[in-house]
Amino acid sequence: MALVRWRFDDPTDASSYTFDMNPNEGGTPTLKKNMSYQNTAGPNGVVLAFEGRDNVETLTVSGVLKEEVQLIAFQTWYAKRHQITVTDDLLRVFTIYITGFNATRKRSIAYPWKHDYTLEYIILDWV
């Protein structure tokens, strides 16, 4: 099976960015309902269980950047103030908004721009 690389797409200007290396961790969103509970007063009373609006689905992926251009590309996509789409190696497409990008420099003689990174985003929609 051929390697499928992750890709960012920005429909507003038709730009895209294909990852040089796919993330090595994460990629499937966490789903969580918004629950509230109140106890009724009786000793055998029921628990009032309320469900609110679902929490926003968040997702974190992490990986390695080796080149300066890769770092700049992530910073550029992070700076976009609107939703974009991401297509992962399983060809799942999410509409996302990037909420965090954390790059930590790693020592490497061969790749002076090597960083470990963590990318955080929320999922606004599944396409």
* Interface characters, 51-70, with another protein (x: CB under 8 A): xxxx----------------
Q: Does 35 bind another protein (CB under 8 A)?
A: yes
Q: Does 85 bind another protein (CB under 8 A)?
A: yes
Sheet containing 15-18, strands listed edge to edge, beginning at the edge strand earlier in sequence = 15-18, 7-10, 84-87, 93-105, 115-126, 57-65, 25-26
| Total residues at interface with another protein (CB under 8 A) | 31
Beta bridge partners of 10: 15
Q: Does 125 bind another protein (CB under 8 A)?
A: yes
Comparing CB distances to another protein, the nearer of 65 and 84 is 84
Q: Does 83 bind another protein (CB under 8 A)?
A: yes
Ranges of H-type helices in 7-96: 68-78
Q: Does 97 bind another protein (CB under 8 A)?
A: yes
Is residue 84 helix, strand or coil? strand
